[in-house]
Structure 1
């Protein structure tokens, strides 16, 4: 009956109307940020929504066909939840759980990747009713943006042949002698994070996925498209509400501080192979914000400067807006100093252009790291930093953060 209702809503146009109305209403959610947003924030908000519309349609309309699973990278410039520019995110969305899969391919020359299965709390009959008029409250029942990792497999544990070929089974029970990720009837997708150290010098992996029961490709059914349009629209709504709630409930209460939290990171599809800190930053244009932290042993680390919607700044394509382990210039004592300012104060370290932003979010992550570091921050006048150098970064002026919480 639910499929009949969803099909009818698609064929008479109500599913499309609800899709469009959900997007329209979500655009006005910027007003819930209050007076803190400026003109640049508002401009980036509408661009952020447009990117998520593209992302939602790619994920749920194009890449959620029940009989044709695929692994596809996220669309160009779609950056949700501090998505690192050094990672590729290969997604396979499963319209309905219950099937089993094989992933196979070649690792190329990348040093590390991790596969993760996830579940999302959503009714399977979402195509059978309207969601637009319910507003943000609808996310309590149906939020495709809220993902929970149920199992993961690191490339360290995968067996590769001499040419780098591999295969991994995604099944309920472990196949004898095979690499394996356990899935169950709640699993709705797979995400493979491919970690790049230096893209220009690496050969990308090639990966494929197939259903083990070998279905034939077939035309789309109306109830499926009705459901996937609802998922796409609600994903946009979810990723609109997520940075707002994170800011006002968490990050914005700890300005210019970072906190490592497994709970926060894992609440949105994170995988427990890393320590990931989020924070909020606020800096007038004539000030500089300087962070310093020890660099512990890790497979990879990155510091990212982001807007308030947790998007990478526009500069990331040109290696701006972030610093990572392969490009960082470390101090003599092995610590990393990151200077956020509108211009380079010329004191060494690693300068990140704040790119006309006065506030935003930030991210510091370490992959395969035992214990994350303490972080010291200094908010100082840019001209004073330029004239007097690091001598003004005294302990009594430091904002200390980087605590590890559950």
Structure 2
């Protein structure tokens, strides 16, 4: 098997297959037709380059069996509604046959969770051509279809007085009551989600990982590079198909509504310590979307506006595009009003500027929840009506109710 993978790399065939896979993935935007406007298309091709960067970082630079690493996702990569208050540190494995130890210090971070996962993929994908299979090939080889198999949160971790900790990662529970994250034989990696309530004023954590048997590093082989190219290419294809499927086959069927679907969330590397609702939004220039909800008691919540490719809007670096628990403006009853509009809305609440977008994805994430997710009420209204009549104009609009839970 490894001889075949090496031959494909040395002949250039593995490279050609990677390039063809990426080329075909790029043309998946054609499925959207006129639904994707000029701004959407511009962001699609940038999205493509970010996916390519993500695949290369993960599988070219971060998948050496003897030298595990925890590396942050590439800058500005925000796959699947990634929260701007979270960092994603990834370690990639070939399989779950080894034991590891994660050491670190939490700094002033209020919360983190570490998950192990598996994905459908052959042991040696570099032995085969994948481009010609297209989306059908994802059934047996999809690095984007991540399924969480185990997780441990900072609430379950033992810290010393300075915030230091140590977690054993492996298939067998360690002795002496040491903190443990379980992995399965088909484990292909770990993900650490760090969660900041106030990033600018929080001392960051530190994490490191090593194999318990401490093997000597060695040069990469041609067969391993062939496998890495195959994984990097299928990662691009897998995420392109994921955003197409989520938009065209699911979310766009329910515009301006949010649904809390645990099966959908957990099917893509989610962890069961939270409610995460997804939906789509539509709001033309000259309109406003007014969204009201009473947050379920929780440690943290965030409402995000994203593009149709599930990416944070470009204004998120300036604090735009989202509202979160510790910075939100609350109404007298503890509820939250979010107003999406291209111009100043004329009523009080948490104004989100959609930064030139007229549609996209939205999400409401509640972490460390107590109880069910909240009812979400949405009104689509002319911006001029809000300017003329204020909140009284909302009484003239029939609300859309959502926030239902689908198991």
TM-score by length of 2: 0.98
**Does the CA contact (< 8 Å) of 2:380 and 2:397 recur in 1?**
no
In structure 2, distance between residues paired with 1:202 and 1:254: 38
Runs of 4+ in 1 over 4 A off after TM superposition: none
Structure 1 residue aligned with 2:54: 55
In 2: Cα distance, 1:386 partner to 1:63 partner? 53
Shift of 1:97: 2.9
Gaps of 5+ in 1: none
What is aligned with 2:387? 386
What CA distance in whole angstroms lies between the structure 1 residues aligned with 2:207 and 2:193?
12
Summarize the alignment of residues 225-264 of structure 1 with structure 2, pairs less than 5 Å apart.
Answer: 225-264=225-264
Query: C-alpha displacement at 1:183, in angstroms?
Result: 1.1
Match for residue 402 of structure 1?
A: 403
Deviates more, 1:28-37 or 1:222-231: 28-37
CA distance in 2, matches of 1:5, 1:77: 36
SS of residue matched to 1:203 = coil
Q: How does 1:174-189 map to 2 (within 5 A)?
A: 174-176=173-175, 177-189=177-189
Deviation at 1:11, TM superposition (A): 0.8
Note the 1:7-406 alignment, pairs <5 A. Answer: 7-176=6-175, 177-369=177-369, 370-394=371-395, 397-406=398-407
Q: Contact 2:109–2:204 (CA<8 Å) still a contact in 1?
A: yes
Post-superposition CA distance 1:101-149 (Å, at most 9, x none): 1001101011110010001111112100111111111111111001000
The offset of 1:179, in angstroms, is: 0.2
The alpha carbon displacement at 1:95 in A equals: 2.5
- Counterpart CA distance in 2 for 1:82 and 1:8 is 39
Which string of whole-angstrom CA distances, capped at 9 and with x for unpartnered residues, describes residues 215-269 of structure 1? 1111111111100111011101111110110112210111000001110100100
Conservation of the 8 A alpha-carbon contact between 2:114 and 2:192: yes
Change (3 A) 1:368 1:395: farther
Alpha carbons of structure 1 residues 158 and 395: separation in structure 2 relative to 1, 3 Å = farther
How many angstroms apart in 2 are the aligned matches of 1:192 and 1:387?
A: 48
* Preserved contact between residue 96 and residue 170 of structure 2 (Cα < 8 Å): no
SS at match of 1:62: coil
Instruction: Report the Cα distance in structure 2 between the residues aligned to 1:296 and 1:245, rounded to whole angstroms.
Output: 29
Q: Deviations over 1:154-182 (max 9, x none)?
A: 10010000000000001112112200011
> Deviation of residue 348 (structure 1)?
1.2
Displacement of 1:346 in angstroms is: 2.8
Whole-Å Cα distance in 2 between the matches of residues 261 and 284 of structure 1? 27
Q: CA deviation at 1:395?
A: 8.0
> In the alignment, is the contact (CA less than 8 A) between 2:59 and 2:232 conserved in 1?
yes
Aligned mates of 2:168, 2:384 — CA distance in 1: 58
Q: Deviations over 1:264-292 (max 9, x none)?
A: 10010000000000001111111101100
Q: How many angstroms does 1:396 deviate by? A: 5.7
- SS of the aligned residue for 1:92 comes to strand
TM-score (norm 1): 0.98
Deviation at 1:34, TM superposition (A): 2.6
Name the SS for the 2:78 alignment partner. coil
Q: Secondary structure at the match of 2:60?
A: helix
> SS at the partner of 1:275?
strand
| Deviations 1:66-117, CA, capped at 9 Å, x for gaps | 1110001101000100000100111001123311110011010111100100
Distance 1:250 1:197 in 2: 31
Give the 3 Å change call, closer, same or farther, for CA 395–180 of structure 1 in structure 2: farther
Count, aligned residues: 405
Gaps of 5+ in 2: none
